[in-house]
Amino acid sequence: MSTEPSAGEPDTDAAAEVAPETVQETPEEPAKPLPKRQVGWVFAVAVVFWAIDLVTKNLVTANLEGKEPVKVLGGLIYLQVIRNPGAAFSMATGMTWVLALVALAVVIAIIWLSRRLRSIGWAIGLGLVLAGATGNLTDRIFRAPGGLQGHVVDFISAFAPNGKGFAIFNIADSAICVGGALIVLLSLLGKDYDGTSTKDKKKQEEQA
């Protein structure tokens, strides 16, 4: 008896041999290119706001030191010169040299991190913090009594003179607060400093 398949029957052995060759693998999706490095934004923002801080401090010390507070915007703010040995908003007075070292550490940390930045938002935020830290550190080094113990020039008193409505501060303090708030906001939104999203990373981990 012949074992060869008839003309009307499919050759199952031949089909089995061909099947693996006809299977097509799904091509993997190409990885998304990383955003450009944004280190330039960090130093551009830092230089601009450091310069604004320095110029405003020099102007108020030259024109307002030793004088009565000047009312601006109908009393919304008062301009007066206060020499502050403490931290932002007149906190931690008596720890001037420690605060100077902390500011120096912040500056070094931001410069080191800036090489890995690929997010413009993070670059602007860190640039503002860098400007503020550098601005007040400049006072610690070059203003009396000097030697990392120089007193920071504060000159903005909100709502009332002499810091009665709110602590007296300067442009550097404002830059630190705004930059820090921007970084916190980006973190809450899941935006990472390297231009990626923490939400996308979680999805990729779940799919893996």
Q: Please list the active-site residues.
A: 154, 173
Chain position carrying tokens 């404002």: 174
**Residue 3, phi then psi, degrees to nearest 5:** -100, 0
Cα distance between residue 143 and residue 96, in whole Å:
12
Residues whose CB falls within 8 Å of the CB of residue 92, separated by 6 or more in sequence, listed in order: 86, 98, 99
Distance of CA 44 to the CA centre of its chain: 13
The DSSP 8-state label assigned to residue 190 in this structure reads T
* Nearest C-alpha neighbor of 77 from the set 166, 158, 173, 161: 158
* Nearest C-alpha neighbor of 76 from the set 154, 165, 153: 165
